[in-house]
Amino acid sequence: MATHPLALEVSESFFVKRRLEGNLFYCIDAHTCGNPVRLVAHGGPALEGNNMSEKRQDFLKKYDWIRKGLMYEPRGHDMMSGSILYPPHKPENDVAVLFIETSGCLPMCGHGTIGTITMGLEYGLIKPKVKGKVRMEAPAGLVEISYTEDADGKVKSVRLTNVSSYLAKENIEVDFPPLGKLKLDVAYGGNYYGIVDPQENFNGLEHYKAEQLISWARELRALLRLSHDFTHPEDSSINGLSHIMWTGETIDPKSTARNAVFYGDKAIDRSPCGTGTSARMAQWAAQGRLKEGEVFVHESIIGSKFEGRIEGRTKLGDYDAIIPSIEGWAKVYGENLISINKDDDPYADGFQV
């Protein structure tokens, strides 16, 4: 298999002496505010396509086994998510990124961006044209990034100006047997989110166990998908409600809001979720609850925080949209040489329980 050109340089002997067989992937592991990001620094496939949206489709068609092998058990786990770096398609940009995750290849991932940029810079895989700034091509569009680092080149914080985000539908009413009648809004922030705020039949995320929120979210998403279709006004390859966001009381009284984002089939984001925070800021902006320049501190289920802001306003098709930015941090905690041996390992493609 041909590997893509933006990869860590490792010699053949590096692999040979480890006696691993099959396809080998050299991965750097980090977490963004508690949620994992596995950057495939060597072993990612060369892809066809003129932009990351086309390359995402090519990956899903030909190489989805890589995603499954690296994200699912036994090499990954329910919350695992990651990325693969590619050279940019436009000369003014610095890098292009494919996001891989237990649920598929997301058009955009905020916590994934913060982790990927941190690792890419610290390992010298991303070489920005302008110090302190990275222009990143994601499948959902261009993401402009600014970052700070210490004197040793350790990245301290990453702020991403995300793709345009909008409130897609308000006040959807559903009859949801486990809880009763529910009202929710759907907003886009790089993925489509069903946002459930506290109401008569839902007291707020702090009143329920995580396993309960997960199983309700899986059921609610399936129910909503039967009756509601969401398609990006400018890129029809981005479609479908993929995430549910439960909201509730903050832990820190100084935070603006708290959320628990359900993704994949069994995961709750440990970070405050970058695309989810963007979607929620779009919802608040459309409802007059958040103004340009105001700080939106979003807390996750574990209390970690992203700082959001509305940078500007724009249009997406006929929709009023915002340009949100999110700031967070990531910590690198390991490196992994992982083999996926299709000839010998019955669980080469991983599994989900």
Please provide the distance, in angstroms rounded to a whole number, between the alpha carbons at the two ends of the chain: 30
CB closer to ligand PYC out of 8 and 273: 273
CB closer to ligand PYC out of 263 and 284: 263
- Using rule CB under 6 A, residue 299 touches ligand PYC: no
Residue 106 beta carbon to ligand PYC: minimum distance, rounded to whole angstroms: 6
Contacts of 188 (CB under 8 A, 6+ apart): 165, 166, 168, 230, 232, 279, 282, 316
- Distances 108 to 141, 213, 334 between C-alpha atoms, Å: 8, 23, 24
List the one residue from 23, 247, 259, 275 that touches ligand PYC (CB under 6 A).
275
CB closer to ligand PYC out of 108 and 125: 108
- Using rule CB under 6 A, residue 111 touches ligand PYC: yes
Q: Is 33 a catalytic residue?
A: no
Q: Which stretch binds ligand PYC (CB under 6 A): 64-72, 109-117, 135-143, 201-209?
A: 109-117
- Using rule CB under 6 A, residue 330 touches ligand PYC: no
Residues 45, 98: Cα–Cα separation, whole Å? 11
List the one residue from 27, 28, 273, 282 that touches ligand PYC (CB under 6 A).
273
267-268/141-149 β-pairing = unpaired
Determine the number of helices (DSSP H) and then strands (DSSP E) in the chain. 6, 17
Q: What are the start-end ranges of the H helices in the chain?
A: 12-16, 52-62, 64-71, 110-122, 210-227, 274-286
Contact 269, 305 (CB under 8 A): no
- Using rule CB under 6 A, residue 305 touches ligand PYC: no
Count of positions on this chain that bind ligand PYC (CB under 6 A): 12
Q: Which of residues 175-214 bind ligand PYC (CB under 6 A)?
A: none
Q: Which of residues 60-99 bind ligand PYC (CB under 6 A)?
A: 81
Q: Is 109 a catalytic residue?
A: yes
Q: Which of residues 238-267 bind ligand PYC (CB under 6 A)?
A: 263
Residues 102, 294: Cα–Cα separation, whole Å? 34
- Using rule CB under 6 A, residue 34 touches ligand PYC: no
- Using rule CB under 6 A, residue 165 touches ligand PYC: no
Contacts of 66 (CB under 8 A, 6+ apart): 23, 25, 40, 43, 44, 45, 59, 100, 340
- Using rule CB under 6 A, residue 274 touches ligand PYC: yes
Binding site for ligand PYC (CB under 6 A): 81, 106, 109-111, 263, 269, 271, 273-276
Q: Which residues are catalytic?
A: 109, 273
